[in-house]
Structure 1
Amino acid sequence: MVNLISFVLSLLSGAVGGNIAGNAMKKYDLGMLGNTVAGLIGGAIGGPVTNMLMAHPETLYGVLTNIIGSGVGGAIIMIVVGLIKNAFTNRHAH
């Protein structure tokens, strides 16, 4: 049950991180749905990686690092996808 809760927290935190990054960095914004999907993917990667590297997910410290790692993962994936999208858009515009 802890693993399921941890994974759901990872997804939610990633989605939030992706949307915060999209709003903060308009140049890479993918729209609400795109930011959310990229954030979900980043959260699914960032949370488990953070848990493996830093803490046990059943502790308060582990939950907090999971949330932070997932949010950062969501933001990173959203920015990377935004960079790729912009590169293809700029290449086809010329």
Structure 2
Amino acid sequence: MELIISLIAGAIGGNVAGGAIKNINQGTVINSIAGILGGGLGGSTLSMVGAGALAGGGGMDLMSIIGQLVSGGVGGGVVLAVVSAIRNALGK
């Protein structure tokens, strides 16, 4: 369940980042795909470093869900920025 939350938060984070920073906006589809990948990576990274345990023991309590939302959203925005930088470099 945590992975699903991270993936959804990543898709939202990618689209929010694309909407907020026009230079990295790649369109809804690419923003969402990059966000989903980033959300999965962000959620996995949070689990690996043990921050999931700090955010509520890895269960489905409120702090754990908030941790997954934040890590997924941030991960989605970061991966979108990387994808945008690569696409812009290849386009030149």
Both structures adopt the same fold (TM-score exceeding 0.5) = yes
Asked if 1:15 corresponds to 2:11, the answer is: yes
State the superposition RMSD in angstroms.
1.1
Deviation at 1:87, TM superposition (A): 0.9
Deviations 1:31-74 (A, max 9, x none): 00000000000011101211332123213222211110010000
Distance 1:33 1:45 in 2: 18
For structure 1, list consecutive stretches of 5 or more residues without a partner in the other structure.
none
Query: Which structure 2 residues correspond to residues 1-94 of structure 1 after superposition, within 5 A?
Result: 5-53=1-49, 54-55=51-52, 56-58=57-59, 59-90=61-92
What is the TM-score when the length of structure 1 is the normalising length?
Answer: 0.85
Runs of 4+ deviating beyond 3 Å: none
What is the TM-score when the length of structure 2 is the normalising length?
Answer: 0.87
Instruction: State how many pairs are aligned.
Output: 86
Deviation at 1:13, TM superposition (A): 0.2
Instruction: Give, as a single letter, the amino acid of the residue that structure 2 aligns with 1:71.
Output: G
Is contact 1:57–1:66 with CA below 8 Å preserved after alignment? Answer: no
Distance 2:17 2:41 in 1: 17
Tell me: higher relative CO, structure 1 or 2? Use CA pairs within 8 A at least 6 residues apart: 2
Higher fraction of helix: 1
For structure 2, list consecutive stretches of 5 or more residues without a partner in the other structure.
none
SS at match of 1:75: helix
Q: Select the structure of larger CA radius of gyration.
A: 1
